Every structure is written in C-alpha cells, then in structure tokens.
Amino acid sequence: MTAPRTYLDHNATEPLRPEARAAMHAAFDVFGNPSSVHCEGRAARAIIEAAREQVARLVNARPGEIIFTSGATEANATAIGGRRWGAVLYGNCEHAAVLAAARRLDAPRMEMPCDASGVQDISAVAEWAARQPQASAPVLASLALANGETGVLQPVAALTAALAAYNVVVHSDAAQAAGRVPVNFSALGLSLMSLSAHKMGGPKGIGALVVRDGTPLDPLITGGGQERRRRAGTENVMAIAGFGAAAEAARRDLDLAQKIAALRDGLEAGLQRSSPESVVIAGEVPRLPNTTLVSLPGKLAETIVIKLDLAGFALSAGAACSSGKVGTSHVLEAMGVPPDVARGAVRVSLGRETTADDLERFSAAWAAIAGTAAMAA
C-alpha cells in the first residue's frame, strides 16, 4: 500500500494557489504585447499593472516601486550588482544568491557574523559605515528578513536605523518572509527588497525587486524600456498575473500565521518528547511561523530525507537550492552548530493546509527513524 503524501517543504516552494492558477488561465488568451498601444496591448498592460498593485499591497510599497524580474535570484543580483558600490556589508548567513553576488563585487566588504541562534550581529555596522569614505560611491548593506533554513527573523529595521546617518543603501531579500509574516517596505526604511512568487503560492520564474524612488541603480538587463527602464525585455504576462493573485491571497491569509506557529511548536515538542535526542535549531528566537530545523545527531540529513520520503513526507536537507550538495550548511557553520548536529539537520516547513494529523504521522515516522538510529548506535 502506497503511503499518503504529505508536503512539508513549503520553504522550497509553495504549491500553486488556485487563485494564481485562475489568474494565469485568464491571461492565456491576452496575447498582445504590453508595450503596444493598441487595444490588445493595453489589455496585457492592464493585467501587469493590476498585479503590480497587488504585489505592492502585500509589502506596503507603491506600485511604481515594483519591478518584475525572473525571480528573487535576479532581483538580488540586480540590487547588489546593479551599480558600483563604495563598499558592501552583508550577513554571513545570507542565501547563496546574495553571497555570490556580494563576493563578486570589486569593493571592500564586511560580513556580519551571527550568534549561536542564527541572528546576525549588527552591533558594529554603524562604526564600520562611519569609516567608509562618504564622498565616494554609496555603501550597500544587505540583510534578509528571514533565513530560509532556520526561519530566524533578522533585525532589518534595527539595521536601517543604525545606518540612517550614513550614505548607505539597504537591501533585504524578503523571499522567505513575504506572505508568511507582515512585511512593510516603507516602515522598514529599505531602499531595495527582493521577492519571489513561488514562495507564496505563485508560479516559478517570476519575482520582483522593490526599488524606492531615487535609489541609484542600473539595470542588469538592458535593451527596451520595460519596467521603468530597470529591467528590459517583454514582460511575462501570465506569470505576472499569477504572482499578483498569489500576493493578494497571501495577504488575506496572513492571519493564519498564529495557527501555523502553534502547529509548528506542537510538532517540535512532540519530536523532542518521543525522540529526546532530537535537537531543534534556533528554537529560542523569533522565526517564521512555519519553519523548524531539527536534527538527529549522528544521522545524515540525506538519509533522513530519503527515509521520510519513502514514508510519504516531502521535506529538505537544508535549503532546496543547496540540498543536493555534499557538505555542511554554511548557515549552520556560521552559527557554530556542532558537526554531528549539523549533518543530521533537516528543514520542515509547513503550509496553510498542513494539519495536526499530518504532523502526528510525521512524528511517528521520525520516532521510527530515531529508534533505528539508537539501535544502530
């Protein structure tokens, strides 16, 4: 008998929301080029602008600040590589898309350390910014709103406040946070923010860069004048329609966060009760309500994921973009997590349709794996 499937990998990608599917289906026959001025082109443009307003409402930005991209990776690359910076500051637990872009820059850089809970330490950033030449190119700082592996919420508002007196442009990768917790671009004091549709139930291959008016930035993709001349190329009307609908639905569902967090907390308590050797990583600090990173020390995460997959559960060994690689997560290394704990860490990320029954069955499967590990030891 085939085990029922339970999806617990929402941080890798959310299932497509029905609202997004319907919006994309409705856009299939709107074939005009959105840059054309005739009726068919205006119909396509109307879909894009409606979606721009929906995405803007989700993060409290102005519609004109939303620049559609192919995803958060492109948005990060544009934010970080879109001009010459005098220096760059970023966290050592950032997503690989941020780290790769920042480390390619020909500019002085500082990596903010994190503490043992995975919270980035911003205590030295003002002193560092004060040492940068204020007459030269502006400094860029980048700090994610939430870590995709641990779920840890980062002190972005405190960072922008600490740097307010200096010539610093602050960017945040909000791909994991937007749609799961309230995000207020305006109140955070950011200049740039990256978003991803498929993390909130939209289609893959579409995202956005939020650009505050007046922020200095050159496009990575040049050619036509699309997207306020920030990103050339004919817009993907169907994907943008799906993104907008997903953003609107995610905004409506933000009040589910407390319920999801209660399920997550119950799961963690149950895992540690039935399998005391289980270690919940970063459980003592504020996190995304749907995320837990839990380890069976002495086991390999890849083995745990395979066994749980056979038992009917989908989840990841760390971030999905790096789970196929051999080696310890750079996030857990930065946190100083012991190697045997880090090697056995898997990420469980819940969704709006996850039930208590799902998690009870997961706990039983986890306990069986832990028992096997104990017998092997």
Residues noted as catalytic: 321
Are 127 and 108 in contact, with CB atoms under 8 Å apart? no
List strands edge to edge, sheet with 345-349: 279-281, 291-295, 345-349
Are 83 and 275 in contact, with CB atoms under 8 Å apart? no
CA distance 156 to 158: 5
Pick from 165, 172, 166, 100: which is nearest to 138 by CA?
166
CA distance 235 to 238: 9
Annotate the chain with three-state secondary structure.
CCCCCEECECCCCCCCCHHHHHHHHHHCCCCCCCCCCCHHHHHHHHHHHHHHHHHHHHHCCCHHHEEEECCHHHHHHHHHHCCCCCEEEEECCCCHHHHHHHHCCCCCEEEECECCCCCECCCCHHHHHHCCCCCCCCEEEECCCECCCCCEECCHHHHHHHCCCCCEEEEEECCCCECCECCCHHHHCCCEEEEECHHHCCCCCCEEEEECCCCCCCCCCCCCCCHHHCCCCCCCHHHHHHHHHHHHHHHHHHHHHHHHHHHHHHHHHHHHHHCCCCEEECCCCCECCCEEEEECCCCCHHHHHHHHHHCCEECECCCCCCCCCCCCCHHHHHHCCCHHHHHCEEEEECCCCCCHHHHHHHHHHHHHHHHHHHHHC
